[in-house]
Amino acid sequence: MTVPAPRAEQALATVPPGAPLLEVEGLTVKLGVEGAQRAVLRDVSLRIRAGEAVGLVGESGSGKSMTARAIDRLLPRGAEVDGRITYDGGDVMSLSGAAMRRYRDQVAMIFQDPRAHVNPVRRVGDFMTEALRTNLGVPPAEAARRAADMLGQVGIADGRRRLRQYPHELSGGMLQRVMIAAALLTEPKLLLADEPTTALDVTTQAEVMAILDDLRREFGLAMLFITHDLELAAAICDRTAVMYAGQIVEVRQSGLLHDDPLHPYTAALAAARPDIAQTAPRLAAIPGRPLSAFEAPVGECAFAPRCPHVRDICRAETPELIGLDGGLSRCARAIELRGQLTVGHGHDGNSDG
Amino acid sequence: MAEAIAELAETAQAGPVLEVSGLRKEFGDLVAVDDVSFAVPQATSLAIVGESGSGKTTIARMIVGLERATAGTITACGRDRSAPARSARDRRRRGSEVQIVFQDPYTSLDPRQTAEATIDEVLRLHHGWARDRRRARIAELTGLVGLDDRQARALPRALSGGQRQRVAIARALAAEPRVLILDESVAALDVSIQAQVLNLLANIRDSTAVSYVLISHDLAVVRQLTDDVIVLHRGVVVERGKTAGVLDDPQHDYTKRLRASVPRPGWKPRRGALQGAAGEEQKTP
């Protein structure tokens, strides 16, 4: 069943057809830190078709949030960007002014901590309807009606009253639902969701995830869902990309990611999580710590220093993303390791760094 | 409830190292903790599971004396600690009975103190040992938590989150406590680091007679580290028992909902999880 495709493009072509809504090609980002330009993304390529949900999974410093920020043109000042981002056929990097505002209405973003992204002294209705009123010229009364309706869609019943409230009067879970409703009001085509449920309780997370999934399908919305949780991504995403040290190391149909990964890092990540259904004598910890792009070794596999499957070939050059079994893997031994990367295999089980 | 405690106590050889009975905490009109009782036998681990506003952290703060209980008793190693410590000596003794590791390794360490100095201070204060003996113990403790020499001499800002949490664990262990309270101590860590710290905690439990009280919202972490569990909802214990039994076959509706909300292979989020949980609307104090 192992059918290696030599070129990444070939594998990308094996995903269902349809022109990509968003296309990221060879994105490399460097940020100025203490006078030096440090790489945070290396050669990231990603395609999202209309209506498709794509997961982006990784640990701290992997570059998953930076990817979303680059797509929404929210990188810090002085960022050095290489590569291409195309939305609906148009170049995103050259947008400015009114075109930029229209783009952000089309590509809406929701963040991990809604409280950090909302003005605490403005009423919920005021900020929810802002884009409608200022960018799209919708009359205030009509904008308020639409906002109240949308609150109903995210499960907030007394919308009219909520519009008059301030953010501090709402719980975290309710405020995040308000943020989702606000993002949907401009009828976007793509939602960039950056750990939108990480700060929420698990029962609230389940509710918010269900709402996101329902409304996304209802509105035919594409989504880039960023999380550190493989299982959460798998629950609502068609495909999932796994990032490590600023690179995409695997792209896989979400349902296969946990049980049949293509990259040793994905396998190690799945194996390191404790299991709610059983107690392990010891967890299969990954030695060392996750590296940022600028800390990772260059000219070899970035995961090599922590990988249980490392061989000389892994140190010889930076592996390319190769197509494999309908997915992509940035591992020099990917083909050789097929079938060996299931949870519970390939680890000494007790390594510690 | 009294039966459940008696049952827990029976399983232990000696009496419980920590016992909490009829614990209550009010903040103004809000009852944050309502008639909570549990016992932790020596060398076993208890999980306190709950979401925001369940009162789990308030319980931890009362046990270590950062909050005073409105009613109820707290006993550690057979000695009452419901009222504030009366002397420095009393406070020290309590510190040798129960220690706590907080969630955020970025704010719980003194930014001007190296890991070695942090541990040394505790050794001096609690044991009054001479320099050589302290130095030997520092080497043992840093080795136990997996810090190398360079990390042991580093300031917190030069350490990663996982490394800082190791320092916080080593500091807590330096007092040689009978009970270690882990208040969401692994929640902020990356998955690969969290596994290392959970393994470390399991190693420490196997090599010492320490008991853990793990305060957590993460049921998989609870399964990995604890023997017994109590489930807290809005300040009230709604379910208790062996961790494996409660997670495999939850009885209370709230525990069932909690269990069903955990993402796992094949899991699909469903709307309506919040029905009957209007408490989500209520903000925590």
pLDDT of B265 reads 80
| CA A176 to mean position of chain CA atoms | 17
- Tell me whether B207 touches chain A (CB under 8 Å): no
Give me the phi and psi of B105, to 5 degrees please: -70, -5
Query: Cα-flanking dihedrals φ and ψ of residue A208, to 5°?
Result: -65, -40
What pairing do the DSSP bridges indicate for beta strands B45-49 and B30-41? unpaired
Instruction: Kindly determine whether residue B260 and residue A277, on different chains, have CB atoms separated by under 8 Å.
Output: no
Residue pointed to by tokens 């916080």: B168
A302 contact B CB<8A: no
CB A202 to CB B217 under 8 A? yes
| Ordered alpha helix ranges (H), A86-168 | 97-106, 124-128, 130-136, 140-153, 159-163
Q: Is A344 on the interface with B (CB under 8 A)?
A: no
- Are residues A174 and B224, on separate chains, in Cβ contact within 8 Å? no
| Residue B11 predicted with pLDDT over 90 | no
pLDDT in tens, A296-320: 988 999 999 999 999 999 999 999 9
What pLDDT shows up at residue B4?
A: 52
The string of pLDDT tens digits covering residues B14-30 is 689 999 999 999 999 99
CA distance B196 to A310: 20
CA B36 to chain centre: 16
Task: Provide the CB-side half-sphere exposure for A342 (13 A, CA).
Answer: 4
Whether residue B256 contacts residue B242, with contact meaning beta carbons closer than 8 Å, is answered with no
A264 Cα to chain B: minimum distance (Å) = 13
Q: Is B113 on the interface with A (CB under 8 A)?
A: no
* pLDDT single digits (tens) A211-263: 999 999 999 999 999 999 998 999 999 999 999 999 999 999 998 988 899 99
Global confidence as pTM: 0.86
Kindly list the residues from chain A whose CB atom is less than 8 angstroms away from the CB atom of residue B158.
Answer: none
Which residues in chain A touch residue B223, judged by CB atoms under 8 angstroms apart?
274-279
Chain B residues close to A202, C-beta within 8 Å = 51, 217, 219, 258, 261-262
Q: Å from B187 to nearest chain A CA?
A: 11
Query: Which three-class secondary structure state does DSSP give residue A210?
Result: helix
Split at pLDDT 50, 70, 90, the class of B1 is low
Residues B280, A173 contacting (CB under 8 angstroms): yes
Distance separating alpha carbons of residues B164 and A190, to the nearest angstrom:
39
C-alpha torsion A69→A72→A73→A77, nearest 10? -30
pLDDT at residue A52 in the model = 94
Option in B192, B247, B258 nearest A272 (CB): B192
Closest CA relative to residue B271, chosen from A76, A122, A242, A210? A210
Which residues, listed in sequence order, are joined to residue B182 by a DSSP beta bridge? B101, B214
Q: Which two tokens stand for residue A332?
A: 């020099």
| CA-to-CA separations, A237 to A163, A241, A251, A321, B126, in angstroms, rounded | 31, 10, 12, 21, 53
* Total CB pairs under 8 A between chain A and B: 146
Report which of B149, B145, B188 is spatially closest to residue B168, judged by C-alpha positions: B145
- Alpha carbons A87 and A328: distance in angstroms, whole number: 23
For residue B53 the two structure tokens come to: 């506003």
- Measured between beta carbons, the chain B residues lying within 8 angstroms of A277 are 223, 247-248, 264
> A278-295: buried (b, 16+ CB within 10 Å) or exposed (e) per residue?
ebbebbbbbbbbbbbbbe
- pLDDT tens across B94-128, in order? 999 999 998 877 788 999 999 999 999 999 999 99
Q: Could you tell me if A316 lies within 8 Å of chain B, comparing CB atoms?
A: no
What are the Cα distances from residue A79, in Å, to A31, A61, A97, B78? Answer: 5, 16, 19, 60
Cβ-based contacts of B220 with chain A (< 8 Å): 273-276
Q: Rounded mean pLDDT of chain B?
A: 88
Whether the per-residue pLDDT at B285 is higher than 80: the answer is: no
Q: Computed over its alpha carbons, how large is the radius of gyration of chain B?
A: 19
Is B150 touching A (CB cutoff 8 A)? Answer: no
Residue A157 touches partner B, C-beta closer than 8 Å = no
- Tell me the β-bridge partners of B99: B180
Q: How far apart are CA B222 and CA A88, in angstroms?
A: 46
Tokens of A216: 């996304």
The token pair at B168 is: 């916080």
pLDDT in tens, A116-165: 888 999 999 999 999 999 988 999 999 999 999 999 999 898 899 999 99
Nearest C-alpha in B relative to A200: B52
Joined tokens for residue B48: 């306190």
pLDDT attached to residue B281: 41
CA distances from A143 to A49, A116, A188, A212 (A): 29, 24, 16, 22
Helix (H, G, I), strand (E, B), or coil: what is residue B13?
coil
Q: Indicate if the pLDDT at residue B283 is higher than 50.
A: no
Which residue, chain included where needed, has tokens 């929420």? Answer: A200
User: Chain B contacts of A278, Cβ < 8 Å?
Assistant: 223
The answer to whether residue B245 scores a pLDDT higher than 90 is yes
B116 vs B121: CA distance, rounded Å: 9
For A134, phi then psi, to 5°, come to -85, -40
Q: Does B206 touch chain A (CB under 8 A)?
A: no
Tell me how far apart the alpha carbons of residues A51 and A49 are, in angstroms, rounded to a whole number: 6
Q: Closest Cα of chain A to B277: distance in Å?
A: 9
- Identify which of B195, B261, B263 has the shortest CB distance to residue A284: B195
Predicted confidence (pLDDT) per residue in B141-150, tens digit? 998 888 888 8
